A and B are shown apart, each in its own frame.
Chain A
Amino acid sequence: MKVYLVLPLVAFALAACEREDREYRANPMTAESQEKIALVPLSAGPSGPTEYRSGLGKEYEENAFHISQGQRFYTWFNCNGCHANGGGGSGPALMDDRWIYGGQIENIVQTIREGRPNGMPSFRRKIPDDQIWEIAAYVRSMGRNVPKAAAPGRKDDMSPGPAEQRRPPGQVIDGGQVPPSAQMPQ
């Protein structure tokens, strides 16, 4: 009898280990990861822009712990005041598929760090680098651009709509300045 109970528990526990690959990185405020990214798919020459990604992005956005930390920090640093729970307010929607400044996690890290001209504040030296990555990973989860298993489930607060985990996988369309007007509610 007992064995039957324990077996699935062990299985769950093991699965959880897989999912939660925690890394405790002490990251001082001043340290900044240096990803070499472009803001547009167009480049001089036919080969596309030259970019270099360290792999940090994957580490963060495929990790449920980082994403849930990011969810906490997203509120903590008042991102929700301007972007609500992803639907937007004074700042644009973050759960949709259009990205003015790029929707890859490296772009989002850049956006948070440097700010953007139409009213996105710069958070450089206000948020430690690893937390910026965690927030960016959470932002990626809003449009479900992260693995389903890593995306957050329902939160305790007022439900704004279906949880990140229950959203269909999203896509990233760069250059979101021109809205598709009168889109049917999804």
Chain B
Amino acid sequence: MGYLRVTILLAVPLLLQLSVPSRAQTGPQPSPPPFATTPEDGQWTIPQKNFASTRYSDLSEISAENVKNLQVAFTFSTGVNKGQESAPLVVGSTMYVLSPYPNILYALDLTQPGAPMKWQYNPKPAAAAQGVACCDVVNRGPTFSNGKVFFTTLDAHVVAVNAETGEEVWKTKLGYINRGETMTMAPLVVKDKVIVGISGGEYGVRGWIQALDANSGQSLWKAYSTGPDQDVKIGPDFKPFYDSDKGKDLGVTTWPADAWQQGGGSVWGWISYDPDLNLIYYGTGNPGPWNASQRPGDNKWTAGIFARDADSGEARWFYQTAPHDLHDWDGINEMILLDMEWEGKPRKVLVHPGRTGFVYVVDRTTGEVLSAKPFAALTAVTGVDLKTGRLQYNADKAPVINRVVRDICPTASGSKDWNPSAFSHKTGILYIPHENLCMDWESVEANYIAGTPYVGAEVRVHPGPGGHMGEFSAWDVREGKELWTINERFPLWSGALATAGDVVFYGNMEGWFKAVHARTGEVLWQFKTASGIIGQPTTYRGPDGKQYVAILSGVGGWAGAIVSGDLDPRDGTAATGFVNAMRDLKNVTTTGGTLYVFKLP
């Protein structure tokens, strides 16, 4: 723990990059687009911090020199001992904290000592939703816009709450738990639209993204991830870069008859927005079932990245990170929007550290993949062919019906799951909290019964090369290489936060909240919280003018379900195989649900 490593990996000969060799990049580091560099107001109003999703704050009172003096300012219990994946928000002098199911929203008064509760709002979601939540009953955060706080509930409602009073403004039901539909993502508000998507990729849902009127909760547009072009909102404006995404009704024809109806492609991760292009960017989840032999074809439009017009929802381009996904590699991870020079020309790019194990740099106006470099140990994929855009699978690691295929890296949750990276506007470095995990996989026949899982795989996850399961890596986007890495015993399931004080924050599943030097990776300060950390750190300037750092502690999520769900470590396939790797977690941490806020003395 805490030991440093200078650029490694490339351990396996399989890591042949199919890209044109040594496109060495020179010129300036990538930079955030102008719409993400407005003067720092000291707030943290949306989990992504800004539309470019850089999760960077210009606050610098807490610096590499003084961070060692950080101390607890106040704490707060969410009252729920399940996985706390949410981001604490700060708007004006109020902090908003959202619990996992039952999704209680708390407002804390930052002007008073100890930040007492102003109000709480309980949407009282249906308890039965817990059964159809694949990976603990998490929620990835509320979002604020124009006087209202918006969030999703586990039983597939979206609510708008008056940010001042805590009164419900509207509540819209968007899914049915009897079809396995739940909601876990943080909405993004673009102009007057609240954009949300559906979870349930392990239950045979048909994924979609939807825009609601921020004032009324009425649906304005809805685009499915599978099915006919009309349902997917693919029209004349759709101009994908690669040929395999061109053609009519691919959301039907790349599936066996009717399989797209329960084909997954859920939308449960992060949305970014480019106001200049008026495009939103988000990923679609894995196709269902996991057993790929039941769905021959590319399975459009699952496991990929969509660019859509924010007003109409019409698709602009799509790039499939995992065509005919074999291993549950959703495309839902964060989309970080940057400007950078590429082969001498300025490009507007989208950076996506994917579950497949590659950091994708994609031209966000066209959907062209500029580079895809591995950031973790991989055996199941050999690279991305930049001519066709296609992920190159290693046939030896492809699943076989009723046979166990061993040492597939990355694992089902990917080299990196949902927990977002941060990009420092100051260092130009991307900080990626991720996993070093492999798995054994046996495909078995999956039976579709609505309201029950639709998976068809027996999985056992195990640590990757070296035995440690988590890595916190500093990544040079332009060069496509790792600068340094901190190894962690358990997978990293918490997000990252970058600050102008040259300090980067993240937490680990043992419960340590860490501040590391943005340039060297030296651990400058760490604090042991009550439970494992899988949340998203945020920072803000309090009413007293001081800088604060906030994090929720409370282990859970897919990786931590062994503790939050009290699963039995004797069954390696529990929690869809994650328990096999996490048996020790029960000896290290217990459940929790506590907000910690830190400040300098």
Contact = CB atoms under 8 A, between A and B. Distances in A.
A159 B459 CA distance: 10
B131 A82 contact: yes
A121 interface: yes
B50 to A, nearest CB: 34
B458 A118 contact: no
A84 B574 contact: yes
Q: Considering the complex of A and B, which 7 residue pairs feature the smallest CB-CB distances, nearest first?
A: A119-B131, A87-B571, A81-B453, A87-B574, A179-B566, A93-B568, A78-B452
B571 A86 contact: yes
Interface residues of B, number: 48
A90 B131 contact: yes
A88 B131 contact: no
B130 interface: yes
A81 B566 contact: no
A173 B442 CA distance: 34
B112 interface: no
Interface of A: 75-78, 81-82, 84-93, 95-96, 115, 117-121, 126, 156-162, 167, 179, 181-186
Contacts of B460: 158, 160
Q: Which of B132, B202, B460, B571 has the most CB of A within 10 A?
A: B571
Contact of A76 (B447, B561, B569, B584): B447
B579 A87 contact: yes
Interface in B453-495: 453-455, 458-460
B202 A81 contact: yes
Contacts of A156: 402
A158 B405 CA distance: 10
Contacts of A92: 565-566
Contact of A186 (B442, B453, B569, B573): B569
A90 B134 contact: yes
Contacts of B444: 75, 157
Nearest to B444: A157
A158 B456 CA distance: 12
B78 interface: no
Given A81-B455, A119-B132, A89 B574 contact: yes
Nearest to B440: A158
A96 B562 CA distance: 13
B419 interface: no
A157 B442 contact: yes
A85 B574 contact: yes
B586 interface: yes
A181 B583 CA distance: 13
Contacts of B574: 84-89, 93, 160
A185 B572 CA distance: 12
A84 B591 contact: no
A73 to B, nearest CB: 11
B569 A182 contact: no
Nearest to A79: B452
B590 A84 contact: no
